[in-house]
Structure 1
């Protein structure tokens, strides 16, 4: 089950279609959907988590806590709406496009994709682009 939670004055307009899309990407990668929580927050909220749990004193757009068991996908995905707004401007894409990329990025990590090396980053971007192409807006 995918749930969306809001710690800021923001709400997805198309929760049902996004849930269906995320589920389809999980299934495409031969994984099973468990309990997945998206938590939309601001920079301060996510920065605090980044310092407390990862010892990184930086802003970030997403932090995911993976509780998956094998192919059963479970976890909490925290997304800073502030970072998504800024990154959308930096990458000259719409807010929705950047938000969807960040949302699926966390799921792809749960499905086993990494992004630490340049090669891994290239593959992650390819998988993100593939997933985004399957989303009907």
Structure 2
């Protein structure tokens, strides 16, 4: 069971890794899931576009890409987060950068827990799940 955080060509965000890891475990447990191997990579817009193009054939920027390798009730995967897009979105939606980052961090976990956001209704359900998860984290 491991949750790791890395940064690629960008300053590592100011997060309390231990608190974030415990929070992720609590959220996963609330969906009946345990943590296997979850790897976060914080990166630039250029890097996330490269991954999006290479692996998903999408030619656009995004804030997060989740590669889900979960089996049964054990969630595992790689979560790639563009800190530049997170910052842009925090400004666009008038939210605090740290809150927006937490939202994106847990968004990938919620995908691994079985929540999708492919339709308008599903997207609303994802936002509700994100908000519930955000209530469980200690503010930084």
TM bucket, shorter chain: over 0.9
**Shift of residue 13 of structure 1?**
3.1
CA contact (8 A) 2:70 2:76 kept: yes
Using the TM superposition, give the Cα deviation of residue 108 of structure 1 relative to its aligned residue in structure 2, in angstroms: 0.2
Secondary structure at 1:69 match in 2: coil
Q: Which residue of 2 aligns with 1:23?
A: 25
The match for 2:110 is 108
Matched, 1:90 2:92: yes
Residue in 1 that maps onto 2:14: 12
Q: Would you say how many aligned residue pairs link Structure 1 and Structure 2?
A: 137
What is the aligned-residue RMSD (CA, Å)? 0.8
Aligned pair 1:45/2:47, yes or no?
yes
Q: Please report the TM-score for the alignment, with normalisation by the length of structure 1.
A: 0.98
Secondary structure at the counterpart of residue 104 of structure 1: helix
Looking at structure 2, the residues matched to 49 and 30 of structure 1 have their Cα atoms a distance apart, in angstroms, of 30
TM-score (norm 2): 0.95
What corresponds to 1:2 in structure 2? Answer: 3
2:132 to 127, 130, 133: 130
Match of 1:79 in 2: 81
Cα distance, 1:71 vs structure 2: 1.1
1:51-91 CA deviation, whole Å, 9 max, x = no partner? Answer: 01111100000001000001110000000000000000000
Alpha carbons 2:6, 2:12 under 8 Å: kept: no
What are structure 1's unaligned runs of at least 5 residues? none
What is the rounded CA distance, in whole Å, between the counterparts of 1:13 and 1:72 in structure 2? 25
The answer for unaligned runs of 5 or more in structure 2 is none
